[in-house]
Amino acid sequence: MTLPSIPLGTGIAYGTGCRANADGNGARAYNRSMAQVSPSRTVYDVVIIGSGAGGGTVTKVLADMGINVALLEAGNMLDPAKDYKEHMWPWQVDHRGVGPHAEGYFGKSPYPFGYFSAPFGFWQHEDEPYTVAPGEKFEWYRSRILGGRTNHYGRFSFRFADYDFKPYSTDGLGTDWPVSYEDIAPWYDKAESFIGVTGSKENIPSAPNGIFQPPPPPRVHEVLVKRACDKLNIPCIPNRMAVVTSPHGLNGRPPCHYCGQCGRGCVTASNYSSSQVQVLPALKTGRVKLITNAMARELITDGNGRVTAVSYVDKKTRTEQQIRCRVVVLAASACESARLLLNSRAPSHPNGLANGSGTVGRYLTDTVGYDLNAHIPSMANMPRYDDDGMGGMHMYIPWWLQQEKNKDFPRGYHIEIGGGLPMPGIGEFHGTCTRAEGYGLPLKKAIYEEYGTWVGLAGRGEMIPNERTWCEIDPDVVDRWGIPVLRFHFQWGEAEMKQARHMYDTFKSILETMGGKVYEPYHPEVGEGISIGGTIIHEVGTTRMGDDPKTSVLNKYSQAHEVKNLFVADGGSFVSNSDKNPTLTIVALAWRAAEYMAEEMRKGNV
């Protein structure tokens, strides 16, 4: 049915940042009865919400096992040939891709990561607002298309180390996971073998060995970084990226052709995206029903507390639908899945589904980020060469001080390396223009000399969960479809600030050892330079796993303690947020959960 006009006071509205009813019950007001929606007759074995790394993995694993799946995606269908801009040149686009009205010339690009990046992601959208507690900062990136953020993420794929699963046992902070590295290692093996991850076996405790594709050679600036690191006794090793490089390909995917444009999406599927590597192949089995533009509203339960259906809004027709299921898997992203659980209220669970512990939305973390750049004079006027390679760094610096007892902060970070000779774009030489006076030939000469002479180091570190950082339902604001939105609370702790200070000192040492000149140093001890929460796009932990139902949402198989036919397959299950990028671990945990789920279904336990 079409969404009706809503009388005043119901708490339901269809506009940007719409306000709920004054008594703050907007979240509850939308628990519709079956008579108000269009339920499906088909009962699917499993309904999966979200098609990113976790949802794509569960979809592929279950479909290959003969299980009928319905996959709900809040965005559009993906057509790589039409939607990706992998080999498009700037001259082929109006204003060279700075916006339909040339907004980018004035620092107001409408594209979060540029026009040429893979499509349909946003920080802010009038249809899907969120709020942040007064005086705090948090930014939430969403991607509304098949495959979600895997279409354009960095593809850095690092295994957690053994100590990452046991943080409390290591230093007395946080909480241990209910699983160990040994428990998850077989699924790391499966994930790497299937999606393809470059790397080398280095026997470094913080960077466990894996099943690797051949790593590409380092670029010039990476060679210089490694030489500097060698002098400082800091490891610098081949990067681990979800890219196929073997000349034999992998599972029908050809090797990378080294165009250097991974962020634009890969038409040949040589790099990993759940859309191309998992969902589209799973559709060919005939056991997957894909429903796009499906905005999940709430989970419907029976008298026993089991999920029987998912209520969603068809964004194209503005109608509300229900799809019935035997099992439901949330893989909409850590924060979106928490939102769905918190909005799924009934007399038996007034604070949200699977939230008897009160921990849904709690323990939210993001990765600590800090960047520093330097000009390397020795690289001026260097002969030009094709250094495209993979669309990301070929070398990286894993954490090397886990045994250091004299640090003034816990845990650690890894270092990502930027530089080289990328395709110039609008704004590429803004810095040079501010440093070099004049115009015409002198300015062109300065641009040519500086091009490729900058090296950047980016720290990505572990955040300790704290009680001041979480997300909840905003009682006053709903989105375009009347669904109550999230309100974020976020604060870095003292440990993260000290970690950023250590990053600065380390980066400065490496860059100066290269002969570089560091410009505009930040002062992380007073908050300058450290990333705003959410901007690294590694938010995890909102539905964490654990052995104790009183302090966690899920068990060690990502199954809800309180709702046996409910699983979570995104970063929400994380107990801690190590310095490693989370996607590979999301895939491994989702694969493990899918196999456990299938066996429990076979036994009749769910």
Neighbours of 439 (CB within 10 A): 9
Spatial distance between the Cα atoms of 586 and 574, rounded to a whole number of angstroms:
9
- The superfamily CATH assigns to domain 1-31+42-83+126-154+275-365+475-485+540-606 is FAD/NAD(P)-binding domain (3.50.50.60)
What is the 3-state secondary structure of 403-423?
Answer: CCCCCCCCCCEEEEEECCCCC
Please check whether residue 395 is in contact with residue 226, taking contact to mean a CB–CB distance below 8 angstroms: yes
How much is the pLDDT for 23? 37
Q: What is the pLDDT of residues 437-463, one digit of tens each?
A: 888 999 999 999 999 999 999 999 999
Spatial distance between the Cα atoms of 73 and 67, rounded to a whole number of angstroms:
19
DSSP per position, 299-337: EEE-TTS-EEEEEEEETTTTEEEEEEEEEEEE-S-HHHH
Spatial distance between the Cα atoms of 14 and 480, rounded to a whole number of angstroms:
4
E strand intervals along 203-351: 237-238, 288-291, 294-301, 307-314, 319-330
Q: Per-domain residue ranges for the chain? A: 1-31+42-83+126-154+275-365+475-485+540-606, 85-118
Query: Which among 315, 327, 305 is positioned nearest to 59, based on CA atoms?
Result: 327
Q: Which helix (H) or strand (E) holds 477?
A: strand 470-478
Neighbours of 167 (CB within 10 A): 23
DSSP symbol at 242: S
| Burial tier of 431 (Cβ tally within 10 Å: 0-12, 13-18, 19+) | middle
Spatial distance between the Cα atoms of 428 and 451, rounded to a whole number of angstroms:
9
How much is the pLDDT for 20? 45
Query: 3-class DSSP state for residue 84?
Result: coil
Spatial distance between the Cα atoms of 145 and 76, rounded to a whole number of angstroms:
5
Quote the tokens at residue 512: 């100066």
Segments of the chain with pLDDT less than 70: 1-37, 521-526
How much is the pLDDT for 6? 24
Spatial distance between the Cα atoms of 32 and 433, rounded to a whole number of angstroms:
59
Give the pairing type, strands 121-122 and 566-568: unpaired
Could you give the angle at the alpha carbon of 303 between the alpha carbons of 301 and 312, nearest 5°?
A: 15
Q: 199-214 burial string, b = 16+ CB within 10 Å, else e?
A: beeeeeebbbebebbe
Please tell me the number of Cα atoms within 13 Å of 213 on its side-chain side.
32
Please check whether residue 300 is in contact with residue 178, taking contact to mean a CB–CB distance below 8 angstroms: no
How much is the pLDDT for 522? 66
